[in-house]
Structure 1
Amino acid sequence: MDASDGLPTPRRYWAIAAIALAITMAVLDGAIANVALPAIARDLNASPAASIWIVNAYQLAVVISILPFASLGDILGYRRVFQAGLLVFTLASVACATSHSLVGLTLARVLQGFGAAAIMSVNAALVRFTYPHRLLGRAIGINALVVAVSSAIGPSVAAAILAAAPWPWLFAVNLPTGTLALLLASRALPHTERSPHPFDTPSALLNALALGLFIVGAESLSAGSALGSFALAGGLVAGFVLVRRQLSRASPLVPVDLLRIPAFAFSVVASVCSFSAQMLAFVSLPFYFQDVLGRGQVETGLLMTPWPVAVAVMAPIAGRLADRFSAAVLCGVGSVVLSIGLALLALLPTSATSVALGCVMALCGVGFGFFQSPNNRAMLGSAPRARSGGAGGMQATARLLGQTCGATLVAFSFRASASHGPTLALGLGACFAAASAVVSTLRHHRQVDVQAPRPG
């Protein structure tokens, strides 16, 4: 069945359930390993520094392969790439659970990252073909809700599993969940038309080199390593060659053709700015609460909770509103609220009560949730349906680049000032959120926003 304008019910609900289960696993496994790193390092006789690769290997594999998998989705069909990614992710989870060495676990995490990238790369495209265009904002809101809840419960899920079982069970639980998602996907996901263009292997390798060197270089620079400059320069050179190669192609792996669409380009820039602001806050806030405000670990965990909870509440509401009102206006309002919230966090006195801090954290979550769904809708809806894979891949890449930029800037802030680093990072986050608001305002003034439902 060709999903020309969404799937009928109840098949639509089974399809979104399969997508939600897969995304939940991919997001959770990007975070739960952090909690278990000390236990894993002890069990595998690895140093803390070496054990960090259990996290980095997964993240790097995801970043360098999202756009190639998105291109494969256009060529082979989004359903096939999603199912293949889900199968690889599930089997790699079993390999993680049965690993007995740091090298074996790291290699399994690389495979797991490739599976997660395949899922994430075509996730948005599948959502677009699962729901009718008039309900696209609602569908994206549901997707944002799943991501927000998964991010919020990640540490809690990891702590609960580790309280009852050893660390391999963090990965073993993906076997029944992945099997259920595969069964649902095989019966419910939409079939889509395929693009006849061949896969561009040289561009895929250049993409991996550019993004890999850029991220490694940025992280090395933030740690004070001079080698980071060479890696960063190499990434920029590879990126320049990659973009030059893509300009002459009808269906480029890096969607430079979509970046010529103003609505899409504005949405990508706004997304990078907003996710940079979010990551600047998420990485610096635990240090801010404990080192600056003198709160304990338990209270810090509780104070971090209102933000993702507010995102989970606002994302589906904002998604529904985006089906009726200008996404540019909604994004601008959300970014302004986020900027105000981050500025308030940086300016609050050390005597601020936990209730006041919790309210400001919720305000930040409301702003980010109000931005995310409309912006994703504008990004996806502005691309031709035949390029949904490229649009979804770019959406995920913009999010990951923003998060990488934010985390790197936190490290620079801490190096710039040991005592005021967290406050400086929050101030930078407020600036990035304000920049996102400016970009959204420019998009509205140029009337490039996707507003009313229209054929893809």
Structure 2
Amino acid sequence: MLMATINSSIVIISLPDIFRGIKLDPLQPGNVSYLLWMLMGFLLVTAVLVVSLGRLGDIYGRVKIYNLGFAVFTAGSIALVFDPFTQGSGALWLILWRLVQGVGAAMLFANSTAILTDAFPSDRRGFALGINQVAAIGGSFMGLVIGGLLAPVDWRLVFLISVPFGLIGTVWSYKSLRETSVRTRARVDCVGNALFAVGLTAILAGITYGIQPYGGHDMGWTNPWVLTGLIGGAALLAVFCVVEARVDAPMFNLSLFRIRAFTAGNLAGLLASVSRGGLQFMLIIWLQGIWLPLHGYSFASTPLWAGIYLLPLTVAFLIAGPLSGFLSDRYGARAFATGGLLLAAVSFLGLMMLPTNFNYWAFGGLLVLNGIGSGLFSAPNTTAIMNSVPANRRGVASGMRGTFFNSGTSLSIGIFFSLMIVGLAQTLPAALTSGLEAHGVSATVATGIGQQPPVGSLFAAFLGANPIGTLLGGLPASAIQGADLNTLTSKQFFPQLIATPFHHGLVIVFSAAIAMSLIAAVASLFRGTRYVHTD
């Protein structure tokens, strides 16, 4: 689990070095899709397949599917290391094998929680699943540090690091794990699998392309292909629900939603996953694109230092996760999960109130608060979900929980990037135009640059890059004659320019995160007292 989630985030922080390694500028027109699919492909595959693979675990054996996941994941990691291409072809190779990695990760996601639930009695599951949740969510933040360390040395190391662990894990799992669950004889729900996969893929792909400019608009929500994906995907999922209610052996067991603890836990988990995923992306942009350059760090070194400065969040989560899982075995999940969500909401409020060029100790303290809140929520919530279902439904229940978790992370990219772009669109054009004019760029040229969609500036900040040099470099010399190029292309100019518009966007983003956390807390509160399903 740790290996799978490290790989979901290690690429996020390593993207600048990966694109430099394959000689591709992701900020050039036409290349943004490569950037988005490098981010989204892995998450999309795991979100789409995790329920199907959990159901297959119920039918054919959870350990068998889990072991196969190790092998598939390792094969994808090896292929990623040996990318033979550069530029667009190199990016497509990486995207393809990241999708393969995602298939293996989905096999691990879908069955690891069910295997642990089978192996541990109900009075010890919270602690066991707490450690598993620490691996799952802690890995997503540890990947930021590991990627920051390895990518500047050689971008291929980002993928190579998984290979020895994957090989050892494949052999170890085949030799040590034994099937303890009772298999459920049933046909594979082919129609349900197809409807779910196509419907969810269409929605997530639509969201992915919705944040790209289209037809003179800052975003692509009016793009016919985006609307087709969103509306068509929603229609297919509606048909999927009708089909699943009528088949004998459904992939997505809708009857489980009659269990209050299961429904409330998954709703809270989905909203918490969206807010946590959005937090990760916003903090990376904040550190790499603004705070670190303003404090003298070069753009090339910002990925590493962004990971290091986020360590308080990881450490706090690593401590709170197992502890809350252990205590929830005795006292139940409701108080810990609900309290954790409220702490997360308070941390979002604190981050929203910080100035863009903050004092690090205040920032670090809020990260600790958020890590504690996430740790208090995650393990007890997962334990409550898995305790609430029959033993012969643990595979599909684990897959359904994984779908909500991974879909939340995928949705966070579209939701939070869209909210940030809305915020930037209101203030960035004027700030960019006036800033360029103040340093000698003609009004006509400055206005033209300022009117470009803000998504380019947002992705530049996300990659820890300075887009001003790229924007000015594409102009004829006569257009920028007399401009103070040394100041315009310095590492402080762009961060200072985007700081105020970015903070305006942060207020919108963190307001949404607070609302999601509070709604999730209400759902968690209504989960009921501690409940363990007895067969």
Query: TM-score w.r.t. structure 2 length?
Result: 0.75
Mapped contact 2:73–2:105 kept (Cα < 8 A)? yes
Q: Aligned match of 2:274 in 273, 276, 280?
A: 276
Deviation for aligned residue 1:352: 5.1
Quote the residue 2:353 is aligned against: 347
Q: How many pairs are equivalent?
A: 428
Counterpart Cα distance in 1 of 2:357 and 2:16: 34
Mapped contact 2:110–2:402 kept (Cα < 8 A)? yes
Quote the residue 1:177 is aligned against: 165
Deviation for aligned residue 1:99: 2.4
Deviation for aligned residue 1:219: 2.2
Quote the residue 2:413 is aligned against: 407
Counterpart Cα distance in 2 of 1:151 and 1:35: 11
- Which residues of 2 match residues 24-43 of structure 1 at below 5 A? 24-43=2-21
Quote the residue 2:496 is aligned against: none
Quote the residue 1:3 is aligned against: none
Percent identity between matched residues is: 24
Quote the residue 1:450 is aligned against: 530
Quote the residue 2:202 is aligned against: 213
* Other structure's SS at 2:233 match: helix
Answering whether residue 20 of structure 2 is matched by residue 54 of structure 1, we say no
Quote the residue 2:242 is aligned against: 244
Counterpart Cα distance in 1 of 2:40 and 2:261: 33
Counterpart Cα distance in 2 of 1:406 and 1:104: 25
Answering whether residue 135 of structure 2 is matched by residue 146 of structure 1, we say yes
- Which residues of 2 match residues 345-384 of structure 1 at below 5 A? 345-349=351-355, 353-384=359-390
Mapped contact 2:324–2:375 kept (Cα < 8 A)? yes
Quote the residue 1:429 is aligned against: 513
Deviation for aligned residue 1:292: 7.6
Q: Aligned match of 1:134 in 115, 118, 123?
A: 123
Quote the residue 2:176 is aligned against: 188
Q: Aligned match of 2:107 in 104, 118, 125?
A: 118
Change (3 A) 1:288 1:44: closer
- Code of the residue aligned with 2:530 in structure 1: it is V
Query: TM-score w.r.t. structure 1 length?
Result: 0.88
Range with greater deviation from structure 2 (341-350 or 396-405): 341-350
Change (3 A) 1:201 1:124: same
Quote the residue 2:493 is aligned against: none
Counterpart Cα distance in 1 of 2:96 and 2:288: 35
Range with greater deviation from structure 2 (245-254 or 356-365): 245-254
Counterpart Cα distance in 2 of 1:304 and 1:25: 19
Mapped contact 2:43–2:410 kept (Cα < 8 A)? no
Range with greater deviation from structure 2 (119-128 or 348-357): 348-357
Answering whether residue 299 of structure 2 is matched by residue 313 of structure 1, we say no
Measured against aligned partners, the alpha-carbon deviations of 1:291-311 in whole angstroms (never above 9, x if no partner) come to: 787854657544422222211
Counterpart Cα distance in 1 of 2:21 and 2:145: 21
* Other structure's SS at 2:247 match: coil
Answering whether residue 525 of structure 2 is matched by residue 441 of structure 1, we say yes
Deviation for aligned residue 1:421: 0.6
Mapped contact 2:40–2:208 kept (Cα < 8 A)? no
Q: Structure 1: where are the runs of 5+ without partners?
A: 1-22
Mapped contact 2:50–2:399 kept (Cα < 8 A)? yes
Counterpart Cα distance in 1 of 2:102 and 2:74: 11
- Code of the residue aligned with 1:28 in structure 2: it is I
Deviation for aligned residue 1:96: 1.5
Deviation for aligned residue 1:288: 4.3
Change (3 A) 1:56 1:338: closer
Counterpart Cα distance in 2 of 1:264 and 1:253: 16
- Which residues of 2 match residues 65-84 of structure 1 at below 5 A? 65-84=49-68
Measured against aligned partners, the alpha-carbon deviations of 1:23-77 in whole angstroms (never above 9, x if no partner) come to: 1221122122233333433443444225423333322222221111111111100
Mapped contact 2:52–2:396 kept (Cα < 8 A)? no
Answering whether residue 206 of structure 2 is matched by residue 200 of structure 1, we say no
Deviation for aligned residue 1:149: 2.9
Counterpart Cα distance in 2 of 1:402 and 1:113: 16
Deviation for aligned residue 1:417: 1.5
Change (3 A) 1:437 1:364: same
Counterpart Cα distance in 1 of 2:169 and 2:357: 48
Deviation for aligned residue 1:373: 0.7
Deviation for aligned residue 1:364: 1.2
Deviation for aligned residue 1:344: 1.6
Mapped contact 1:66–1:117 kept (Cα < 8 A)? yes
Q: Which has the larger radius of gyration?
A: 2
Answering whether residue 404 of structure 2 is matched by residue 398 of structure 1, we say yes
CA-based RMSD of the aligned residues comes to: 2.2
Mapped contact 2:43–2:406 kept (Cα < 8 A)? no
Counterpart Cα distance in 2 of 1:252 and 1:268: 19
- Code of the residue aligned with 1:214 in structure 2: it is I
Quote the residue 1:326 is aligned against: 332
- Which residues of 2 match residues 79-94 of structure 1 at below 5 A? 79-94=63-78
Mapped contact 1:85–1:115 kept (Cα < 8 A)? yes
Mapped contact 1:284–1:426 kept (Cα < 8 A)? no
Measured against aligned partners, the alpha-carbon deviations of 1:260-291 in whole angstroms (never above 9, x if no partner) come to: 21110111101111112212322223444577
Mapped contact 2:9–2:141 kept (Cα < 8 A)? no
- Code of the residue aligned with 1:84 in structure 2: it is L
